[in-house]
């Protein structure tokens, strides 16, 4: 099984990273392939809310030219995705929040035609 983990902490070696590493070790020991994404290594801007992505049916169709689409391609290729993030003021850090909001482009509804 292909497992993608996403470290949503701005601290690459913080507590969240340590816990995620333990999980990744368990997954690897069980014969899974693990692909980690450190969100701070990528430029992911916030969603524009333009809904242009909804016009594309065969993949992430976001109009923004940043690293989010590369991350989405890795997510789509995975069998499981694990998000690991600390909580800052009862929410995700800004880097993780931007990625979560941008995943709107991966959601498609049913056609009514």
The per-residue pLDDT for range 58-98, each reduced to its tens digit, is 777 888 999 999 999 999 999 999 999 999 889 999 999 99
Contact predicate 60/43, CB 8 Å = no
pLDDT tier at 57 (50, 70, 90 boundaries)? confident
Whole-angstrom distance, CA of residue 61 vs CA of residue 39: 20
Among 62, 103, 101, 53, CA closest to 81: 103
- Does the pLDDT of residue 112 top 50, yes or no? no
Q: What is the pLDDT of residues 27-45, one digit of tens each?
A: 999 999 999 999 999 999 9
- pTM score of the predicted model: 0.87
Helix (H) or strand (E) holding 33: strand 33-38
Distances (CA, A) of 21 to 1, 42, 85: 17, 19, 13
Helix (H) or strand (E) holding 80: strand 80-84
Contact predicate 42/71, CB 8 Å = yes
Whole-angstrom distance, CA of residue 26 vs CA of residue 11: 22
pLDDT tier at 109 (50, 70, 90 boundaries)? low
CATH number among 1.10.10.1100, 3.40.50.360, 3.30.9.10, 3.40.50.150, domain 2-106: 3.40.50.360
């Amino acid at each position: 099984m292909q497992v993608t983990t996403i470290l949503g902490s701005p601290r690459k070696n913080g507590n969240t990273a340590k816990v995620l590493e333990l999980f990744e070790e368990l997954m690897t020991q069980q014969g899974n392939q693990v692909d980690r994404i450190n969100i701070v290594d990528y430029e992911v801007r916030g969603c524009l809310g333009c809904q242009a992505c909804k016009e594309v049916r065969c993949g992430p169709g976001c109009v923004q030219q940043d690293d989010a689409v590369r991350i989405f391609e890795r997510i789509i290729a995975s069998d499981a995705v694990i998000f690991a993030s600390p909580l800052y003021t009862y929410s995700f850090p800004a880097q993780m929040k931007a990625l979560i909001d941008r995943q709107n482009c991966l959601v498609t509804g049913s056609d009514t035609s």
